[in-house]
Structure formats: C-alpha cells, structure tokens
Structure 1
C-alpha cells in the first residue's frame, strides 16, 4: 500500500509545478569497433561495450527502412471494411505509409530515415533517402492518409501505437533545421494535427490504462505524445497528458517486473510506465514515486536478463528483440536524468542492446521491417544529454 506521507509529498510537489518548477526540484533533490554482426553469448554481455552508432553502422541501419518503405506485400492492413468498396491495395489506401508490412512500421521506418539523415548527412544513400521521403510525404499523400482516418469505420485506426509514432516522426521533422525538414514538417502538419485531436478526444474517455507489452500500451503512447507536446510547445496537449499520466499511474506501487516478459512483448509494461512518469513528474516527485513503484532499480547490483528469442523467423517471437531495445532506452533515459541514483543502469542497457543489435544484420522480414527503428531509438537515448 502507498505510504500516506510519500503520497502527500508527491501531491505537494506536483502542485508546485509551474514557472518555479526548476527551483523547487533543485531544493527537493539533494569510432570504436561495433559488435554488429558478431555472435555474443549471454555470459559475455556483462562485459560488452556500449554499442555506438557511427557512419558505417548508420549506413547499415539505413538499409533496413530503405528496403521496405516501398515494399507493398506482404501487408497487414488492420482495417475495418464497411463494404466491398473498401477493398483496395495498400498503396491506394495509404500512399504515404503502405510499405514495411503495416502502417505503423512504415511510419517509424520514415522516422528512422529522417533521424539517420539528420545525424549523418553524408550517408551513402543520402540522396535516395531524400527522394523517397519527398515522394512519400507529399501533401497529396498526406491528404489521402487523412481521408482514410476520416472514414466511418476507421476513425480509431492505429490507436494508439501508430498515433504515437506519427507524432515521433512529426517531432523529428519539426526539429530538422533544413529547408527539407521545414517542407516535410509542413506537409504532414494536417495529419499531425488530426492525431493530436484524436488523442485529445480519446484520453479523457479512457478510464483505465492498457498495461500490456504490445502495441496498445498506454504509457508508451503517452510518453511519445508528451515528447511531441514539449517540442511543439502545445501546452494544452502537454497538460492533458500529465493529468492522465497521474490519473493512471500515480498510485501504482510494487510493479511485478518478475512477471515480465510475456511471450510476445516488445515493450515492458513496468518500464514504459517508469519512462512516462520520469518525464511528466517533477524530479523530486518522481524520486518519491519510484520508492514505492520500483525501488529495486536503485540497487547497484540490480540485474535483468535480456529477453531470449527462440526463432527470429517467427514475427511474434522476434518481438523480444524489440523488448531488449525498449528496455534499453528506458534504462539509458534513467541513467541520464538521474546519474546519481540510476547511473549503474547504463551498463544494463548496454547488455540488452548488445544482445539484440547483432541480429539486425541479415534479419528476416519478420524483424527487419521494424527492429532497426527500435535499435536506433535506444542508441539515441544512450547518448548522454547535457
């Protein structure tokens, strides 16, 4: 049961959020070789070096989305048919995001290309990437995507996982300080606004969070949406997400991490909640909340084995590689924001990323169409931010 005094302190700290939030928190809070392509045993992972993204590895990662964003089949549409008139090809239905097996994977494949091009302008395939991005994210294609979301039977299409990745793509474009970044950001703005509106309509009606390790996980969606709200300076959206995060998770304690992972997880229900609350709570309030939610993470000897994949040709079982990357980005984030308490988690993040990163090379379509994005996001979070 939540300790009354800690609960009161958290509420008091949260109540102080505003212009003086930083002051309140301060007072209350006293190119190396890559392992890509090599086989690494679990025993060796404890000594594994941090996977670093250099130009050579960026070129390899770029090949994964490049190989799928224009691949129409196989395809999992996930649509609701209103009549036989809705039976159309993936490209006809989704001219912007028809490749990479499903809509959300296509969206985060586009995010990967933007992210890599921003970080490494001299990629081997830089011009090809630019051409594909401009072709996909044209105003006409985005309008067609909007029309699909506005059909009678698909207003909740891709709720909320695909919505979250669309906002992550929008965030990446909005922070790309180039003419192309500005152009593409403006092109997708109408779809971005629609997704924000859908989130804004849906969240007040969601009485209970969805606590699973797959697409519908509420904490994951809110975490990505929150990032976009901050970058876009959308205060109304930010406040709504902060409110729902507290409504859903503030009273949680003793998260059963030993129950994880489930067989098909690519997200950790416990850790995604940690990630969200570390962003939306003031630092002092988050520290108090963690004392009840997952106090074991402070232990410098805390350990967690990576999820083991038994068959990478199975599209569901390979989800566990994604779990290792998503665990990694949460651990990296904690180690960066709270180095004094959680700095030791950086090594644990390295271990998870090191287990799955080699499997991106020569991967089958089951994982290749999406895992690169997860790896790239984990490596993004691994960089220590000042």
Structure 2
C-alpha cells in the first residue's frame, strides 16, 4: 500500500474507499499502522486539517459527563452528586484535569486556527462552560477543607495553562473568558504559594503529582501573566530541589504507566528557571549524553490502547517530545539534534489517537497539540 501523506494519515479515522466507505475502526487503524500498511511521515506538523481532527476530541468530551472518575473525598452524603453538579465548568472528559486541558486545547486551536470549521460551535461551548457562575462553583469546591489538595499539582498546572492561553488569544471572547476564570486562576496561584514552601521533597513520579511538571506549566503562566512573585517562588524551589541533581537514571524509565518522564520534566523546568551558562553546566551533569549528536532513547510502546493506564505511554512520547523541542528551540546549537528524535516520538503515537478509543482521546489530543506547537517553535 502506498505511504500516506500527513494530511491523509492524520486527517482522522475516516478513510473513504478503504473500508467500503465506512468509518475505519480504531482496531483496524492500529493494525494497519503496526503492520506497516501505512506509516507516519517523518516531519509531523499541526496543519489546519490535523487541527480539525484533533479539535473534535475535546469538542465532544467537554460535555460528555460519563464515564467519569471524580477522585473525590466525601465529607458526608451531601457530596454524593453527579459530575456536572460538582464541577459545572469541568465535568466532561472523564476527569477534572482532562476537562481543563480539553478547554485549553480548544482555546489554543482557535488562537492558532481561527478558520476551524467548527469555530462557532467551539466558542459557544467555551462561553457556556466558562461562565462566571460555573467558575465560582468550581472555586467553592476547592474551598471546602476536604478538597484542599484536589488536583494537586497536575490539574492546577493545566488550569494555569488555560489561563495563560486566554491571555495570549487576541479575541474579544478571550478577554471575557479570562475575566470569568480569574477567581479560579487566583485561587490556584495562591495554592502554589501555600504548597511549594511546605513541600520538603519533590515528587518524581511519571504521573500526575510530578512536581517538575506542575512547576514548569506554572512558570509558563507566571511569565505570560508577568507574575513576578510566582516566578520567584518557582525559581527558588526548582533550584533548591533540583539544582544539585546529577546523572538522572534515564535508563530506569519508563515505568509501566508513565505519561511524564521524571528526567525530562526536570530538564524542562530547569531550562525555564536558569540562564544559559548555568543550565548548560547543570544539564551536562544531569544528563551528560544529551548534547551528543547521537543521543537516543527508544519510543515508549503501548501493548493495549483500550487500557486506560497502559495508554499513558502514548502521552509519554508526546511529553518527551515537547521537552526535546523546547530544548532545540531555546538552544539550537547545543540541542538542535533532539528535534529529529522528538519527531520519532510524535510520529509513533500520533496515528494512534483515533476516535473510538476514549481511554486515550479524552486527553491525548492535548498532549499532541502541545508537542506539535513546541515543534513549531523549534523550527525545521
């Protein structure tokens, strides 16, 4: 079979004429991919066509209430309510944090692709979900004593990413939504100020609580919002926890359910808080082989994409990639060679994000978009 182009492969799981005009299922799509019947292009790109495909995922799931994982602490029977009652803004996409970064993804794609075919529908959903009264109910949820640590720090980080994206989007709706979101944004910023100083040891997991990831996303917000106090806090804590780290055991990664790389997330954070001279010296001790032109790490492989934990490893490929793209963009002379390795990670997992696989589609599109936009920063 002829190798498909970026547009034909990444346009989605609808391939006319190949399966009697019907929608190609996730199983068939992945079988074709794994057997070499078609392959991903070597240079992925977030085109309008790919943005159209990926936008369908959060557009669908931000208002899909069930299935849902609440991750809730109950203080009494009054807390036994449905997701939309507890979280009127962020009740979809299986869990709170995935709903938040689904909204981030919709804002991001509208900012970069204002001509999306469903732009009007997307704007209507954003306006409905991010209404002032709904955001205030989200704030009230966090203010209950039993919810003080809710979504710490992964969901917090994506909420600040959403707030930052609204600040970057030059559209009248963005200003309105940013204002609506501001009480929750301010609450989350306050939570960082409360939590980071009392955290004695950083969390170095490859899943949601990873401290470096939570701080890295928050640093992006702090820079965009010109929040000097938050910038200073993150810089201080990052240097305190990670400044002396050496020889990160990359060979120990990944764990079976990782969607973040502890080593790479630390790299991403320290790139943002250190000047070039300090970072280069630190990185040489942290991952000595990273600046070698032949640096390599194998892509993470998923054995069963219907398993909600195992499919995390597709996310790991995207998050590794965005770290490598970030390094290549910031320091092309030293780390430009990482762009090709990042491309390999993206092209391995991008074709696997297909509509029927809700275990992945409720969140993986956001990771793919984030990685591809970091690639755009890194250039060709």
- Which of 148, 152, 170 does residue 177 from structure 1 map onto? 170
- Which of 33, 58, 68 does residue 6 from structure 2 map onto? 33
1:95-138 Cα offsets, whole Å, 9 max, x none, are 00000000000000000000011111111111100000000000
2:291–2:335 Cα contact (<8 Å) kept: yes
Deviation at residue 208 of structure 1 after TM alignment: 0.5
Alignment match, 1:330? 323
Alignment match, 1:309? 302
Do residues 164 (structure 1) and 161 (structure 2) align?
A: no
Do residues 147 (structure 1) and 160 (structure 2) align?
A: no
Alignment match, 1:83? 76
Q: Spell out the pairing of 1:236-275 with structure 2 (5 A cutoff).
A: 236-275=229-268
Alignment match, 1:374? 367
Q: Spell out the pairing of 1:64-143 with structure 2 (5 A cutoff).
A: 64-143=57-136
- Which of 62, 65, 68 does residue 55 from structure 2 map onto? 62
Do residues 49 (structure 1) and 22 (structure 2) align?
A: no
Alignment match, 1:321? 314
Structure 1 residues without counterparts, runs of 5 or longer? 1-31
Deviation at residue 156 of structure 1 after TM alignment: 1.1
Q: For the residues of structure 2 that align with 1:193 and 1:283, how far apart are their CA atoms?
A: 31
1:152-176 Cα offsets, whole Å, 9 max, x none, are 2101110000000000000000111
Q: For the residues of structure 1 that align with 2:275 and 2:38, how far apart are their CA atoms?
A: 34
Alignment match, 2:23? none
Deviation at residue 50 of structure 1 after TM alignment: 1.4
Task: Classify 1:221/1:100 alpha carbon distance in 2 versus 1 (closer, same or farther; 3 Å).
Answer: same
Deviation at residue 360 of structure 1 after TM alignment: 1.1
Q: For the residues of structure 2 that align with 1:221 and 1:311, how far apart are their CA atoms?
A: 28
Task: Classify 1:364/1:33 alpha carbon distance in 2 versus 1 (closer, same or farther; 3 Å).
Answer: closer
Q: For the residues of structure 2 that align with 1:232 and 1:42, how far apart are their CA atoms?
A: 47
Task: Classify 1:102/1:236 alpha carbon distance in 2 versus 1 (closer, same or farther; 3 Å).
Answer: same
1:305-341 Cα offsets, whole Å, 9 max, x none, are 1100000000000000000000000010111111111
Q: For the residues of structure 1 that align with 2:77 and 2:369, how far apart are their CA atoms?
A: 39
For CA contacts below 8 A with separation 6 or more, give which structure has more relative contact order.
Answer: 1
1:241-260 Cα offsets, whole Å, 9 max, x none, are 00000011000000000000
Q: CA RMSD in A?
A: 1.8
Task: Classify 1:365/1:56 alpha carbon distance in 2 versus 1 (closer, same or farther; 3 Å).
Answer: same
Deviation at residue 187 of structure 1 after TM alignment: 0.5
TM-score by length of 2: 0.91
> Counterpart of 1:295 in 2: which secondary structure?
coil
Task: Classify 1:98/1:198 alpha carbon distance in 2 versus 1 (closer, same or farther; 3 Å).
Answer: same
Do residues 220 (structure 1) and 193 (structure 2) align?
A: no
After TM superposition, the runs of 4+ consecutive aligned structure 1 residues lying more than 4 A away are 37-48
Do residues 283 (structure 1) and 256 (structure 2) align?
A: no
TM-score by length of 1: 0.89
Q: For the residues of structure 1 that align with 2:49 and 2:378, how far apart are their CA atoms?
A: 23
Deviation at residue 33 of structure 1 after TM alignment: 2.9
Deviation at residue 234 of structure 1 after TM alignment: 0.6
How many residues align? The count is: 355
Deviation at residue 67 of structure 1 after TM alignment: 1.3
1:42–1:355 Cα contact (<8 Å) kept: no
Q: For the residues of structure 2 that align with 1:251 and 1:42, how far apart are their CA atoms?
A: 45
Task: Classify 1:363/1:339 alpha carbon distance in 2 versus 1 (closer, same or farther; 3 Å).
Answer: farther
Structure 2 residues without counterparts, runs of 5 or longer? 13-28
